[in-house]
A and B are shown apart, each in its own frame.
Chain A
């Protein structure tokens, strides 16, 4: 069974450029989450999709970040324009609905903005 898959695994871009991260959740998982870990800091929640709807986007840092999940399958997280402080590892996770279900994480995308 395929786990949560994230593309690319690494990305190096220049300040001011645009980058799009992709997450393919486990098949059948309605819940999809994005998290971020910047250097030396804790893992922080960014947002939560239930199918194609944004359930909670309280963790999104600013309007340079745009997440979509068209059709309720894979999700993209676009950063435009990227800033130096956006560097970090972006994790995606997915889960079934329900309070008693674990979330499974992808291996992350390491974003470096230079």
Chain B
């Protein structure tokens, strides 16, 4: 399974964009990049996923480099409620969801 590397923590001012980086240099051609977050001890919450192209939904944008070795999750206008641990995950190819959760990035949004 492809391994991901994320910074352990980041700060962001409320109302500003939060840019969370992720390295996945061993990703295979058909593996998707998924982002989840966990607020306190709640269940992980799906944010966004992509394969090659940049993606945007109502929660965030996902920017994937052309070589697919890294990606950035962008929360365009962070709020205090976005304070959470964010996980970048590479999904294995077989069609299941045997995700490998790393330590993630703990994002602190400050007023």
Contacts and interface: CB of A to CB of B under 8 A. Distances in A.
Interface residues of A, number: 30
Contacts, number: 62
A108 B42 contact: yes
Interface stretch (B12-20, B69-77, B95-103): B95-103
7 contacts: A45-B98, A56-B98, A58-B98, A59-B98, A93-B44, A102-B49, A106-B43
Contacts of B91: 99
Interface of B: 30, 32, 34, 36, 41-46, 49, 51, 87, 91, 93, 95-103
A107 B44 contact: no
Interface string A39-81: 0001111001010000110110000000000000000000000
Given A42-B101, A45-B100, A107 B42 contact: yes
B32 A100 contact: yes
A99 B96 CA distance: 7
Contact of A42 (B32, B95, B98, B103): B103
A112 to B, nearest CB: 13
A105 B44 contact: yes
Most buried by B among A42, A59, A102: A102
Given A102-B34, A102-B46, A103-B46, A108 B41 contact: yes
